[in-house]
């Protein structure tokens, strides 16, 4: 089966997905707010992204090699221009919000209130409106007014301290994970609030802080300290005292093996042609392998180093030992599992002719989402939204355009 090719339905109305029929107004920029909007749009919501006339989201210029990030994070959205710093722009937004289910924003707390767009005023016009607010530190507390990027939230939430090799300073994981986590929790909160609205008819505020979204991923690091005085440290590629679980060299690269369960370890020992290691007192139990982790990793590395990656993986997969390549983009594009599940999709675009991106996840059996179009041009949907949704005539839109409002 070939990797899915998205249908070129650029600008079409959402007709599929579990959130079809819902409208979300996205006011954020960069990642933390817009990724929440992407998740909604992926599953069928009509997401209307607001950008400043003549400028647009800075994401339009991001991407290594070519500016291909915006077509991903703004996929399935409708893009309009609106100057929210003007009273007329704020009035237009209020009209849109009266006809919407969600407002998603990731400005510094207090910005909406400064623009006379506080929740209570918005709620008075639409009591079912769900306002999703993503910020570095949340809407309350002594740090709430600080500027907060994802990297700062990752550090405050504890993730940066644990990322990387113990011999180097804390590392970035290579992705904007703090922003993405806060956006994912924001979307999760929006779905909870939507269910509450189904029951009560009332909207509410969803307050997603980057540092708290990161903190939620920190497993048992806090009680490890409060109960046992242990502070987790950076460990690089291993799980301390959990073995074998590491990256091992092969003749043509490296692979990852996870065989830390007793029965799985025995299968790995047999695959290595060393079944006696499975019952060796140094390695037979979870605790013993943890105590002898370094020498066990050295034994496995010596074995894998004599084979190509494909040879080792074929043997381990046949033996029921979890193992795999460490993938990069070229590996993903060629992999049969990605193809079978259509995990990647090629999306038509007027500029980028080989625009591949991750498909929509998770997969829903009855109401699947889809990538319907890539991120649109700046203001591409002005006519549709201002004319079709709000009913503005051409003279009204021309006047607003002349004043720099749209």
* Residues catalogued as catalytic: 179
The 3 state secondary structure assigned to 319-333 is HCCCEEECCCHHHHH
Cβ atoms of 82 and 93 within 8 Å: the answer is yes
* DSSP3 helix / strand / coil % (the chain, rounded to 5): 40, 15, 45
Nearest CA-CA partner of 163 in 217, 209, 224:
217
State the DSSP string of 270-319: HHTT-GGGGT-TTTSSHHHHHHTHHHHHHHHHHHHTTS-HHHHHHHHHHH
Crossing angle for the helix pair 309-319 and 262-271, nearest 10 degrees?
A: 130
Could you tell me if 24 and 48 are in contact, meaning their C-beta atoms sit under 8 angstroms apart?
A: yes
Q: By CB neighbour count within 10 A (0-12 exposed, 13-18 middle, 19+ buried), where does 332 fall?
A: middle
Instruction: Evaluate whether 376 touches 77 at the Cβ level (below 8 Å).
Output: yes
- Residue 20 and residue 30 in contact, taking contact as beta carbons nearer than 8 Å: no
Number of C-beta neighbours around residue 267 at 10 A = 18
Q: Is 255 helix (H, G, I), strand (E, B) or coil?
A: strand
Q: State how far the Cα of 193 lies from the Cα of 127, in Å rounded to an integer.
A: 13
């Amino acid at each position: 089966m070939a990797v899915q090719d998205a249908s070129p339905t650029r600008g079409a109305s959402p007709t599929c997905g579990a959130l079809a029929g819902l409208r979300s107004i996205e006011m954020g920029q960069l990642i933390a707010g817009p990724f929440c909007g992407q998740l909604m749009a992926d599953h069928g919501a009509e997401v209307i992204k607001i950008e400043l006339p003549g400028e647009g989201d800075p994401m339009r210029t991001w991407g290594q090699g070519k500016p291909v990030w915006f077509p991903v994070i703004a996929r399935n959205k409708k893009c309009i221009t609106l100057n929210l710093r003007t009273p007329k722009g704020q009035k237009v937004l209020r009209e849109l919000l009266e006809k919407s289910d969600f407002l998603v924003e990731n400005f510094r707390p207090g910005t909406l209130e400064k623009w006379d767009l506080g929740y209570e005023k918005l709620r008075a016009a639409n009591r079912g409106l769900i306002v999703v607010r993503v910020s570095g530190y949340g809407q309350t507390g002594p740090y709430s007014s600080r500027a907060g990027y994802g990297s700062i939230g990752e550090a405050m939430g504890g993730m940066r301290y644990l990322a990387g090799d113990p011999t180097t300073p804390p590392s970035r994981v290579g992705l904007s994970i703090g922003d993405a986590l806060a956006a994912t929790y924001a979307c999760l909160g929006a779905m909870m609030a939507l269910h509450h609205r189904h029951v009560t008819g009332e909207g509410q505020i969803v307050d997603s802080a980057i540092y708290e979204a990161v903190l939620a991923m920190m497993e048992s690091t806090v009680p490890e300290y409060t109960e046992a005085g242990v502070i987790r440290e950076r460990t690089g590629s291993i799980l301390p005292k959990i073995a074998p679980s590491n990256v091992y060299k092969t003749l043509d690269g490296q692979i990852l093996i996870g065989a830390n369960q007793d029965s799985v370890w025995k299968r790995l020992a047999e695959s290595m042609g060393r079944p006696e290691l499975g019952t060796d007192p140094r390695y037979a139990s979870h605790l013993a392998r943890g105590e002898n982790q370094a020498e066990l990793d050295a034994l496995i590395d010596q074995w894998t180093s004599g084979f190509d990656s494909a040879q080792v993986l074929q043997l381990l997969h046949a033996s029921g030992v979890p193992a795999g390549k460490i993938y990069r983009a070229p590996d993903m594009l060629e992999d049969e599992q990605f193809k079978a599940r259509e995990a990647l999709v090629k999306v038509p675009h007027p500029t980028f002719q080989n625009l591949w991106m991750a498909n929509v996840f998770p997969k829903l059996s009855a109401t699947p989402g889809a990538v319907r179009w890539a991120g649109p041009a700046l203001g591409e949907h002005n006519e549709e939204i201002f004319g079709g949704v709000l009913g503005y005539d051409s003279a009204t839109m021309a006047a607003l355009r002349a004043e720099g409002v749209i």
